[in-house]
Amino acid sequence: MKHYIGVDLGGTNIAAGIVTADGTLLHKDSVPTGSARGYESVLADMAELCRKIIADSGIDPASVVGIGVGSPGFCDEENGVIVFAGNLHFQDVPIRAILGQEMGLPVYLANDANCAALGESTAGAARDSSSSVTITLGTGVGSGIVIDKKILSGAFGGAGEIGHTSLIYGGALCTCGRLGCWEAYASATALIAQAKAAVEKHPESRILALADGDANRITGKVVFDAADEGDCVAETVIAEYLCYVAAGLANTINTLQPDTIVLGGGICAQGDRILAPIREEVVKEVFGGELKTKLVIATLGNDAGIIGAAMLALEEKQ
Q: Shortest distance, CB of residue 260 to a copy of itself, whole angstroms?
A: 8
Q: Residue 53 to residues 24, 116, 214, 252: CA-CA distances in angstroms?
A: 15, 20, 43, 38
State which amino acid sits at residue 278.
I
Q: At a CB cut-off of 8 Å and minimum separation 6, what does 16 contact?
A: 5, 6, 7, 8, 28, 29, 30, 46, 49, 50, 53, 306
User: By C-beta, is 4 or 182 nearer to a copy of itself?
Assistant: 182
Q: Shortest distance, CB of residue 59 to a copy of itself, whole angstroms?
A: 35
- DSSP letter at 202 equals -
User: By C-beta, is 171 or 266 nearer to a copy of itself?
Assistant: 171
Q: Shortest distance, CB of residue 316 to a copy of itself, whole angstroms?
A: 17
Q: Shortest distance, CB of residue 248 to a copy of itself, whole angstroms?
A: 8
The strand pair at 74-76 and 3-9 is best described as unpaired
> Whose CA is closest to 19, among 59, 62, 55?
59
Q: Shortest distance, CB of residue 122 to a copy of itself, whole angstroms?
A: 18
User: By C-beta, is 27 or 150 nearer to a copy of itself?
Assistant: 150
User: By C-beta, is 152 or 297 nearer to a copy of itself?
Assistant: 152
Q: Three-state DSSP class for 36?
A: helix
User: By C-beta, is 2 or 84 nearer to a copy of itself?
Assistant: 84
| Interaction site with a copy of itself (CB under 8 A) | 74, 129-131, 145, 147, 152-162, 164-171, 176-178, 180, 244, 247-248, 250-259, 284-285, 287-289, 292-293
Sign of the dihedral through C-alpha 205, 211, 215, 220: negative
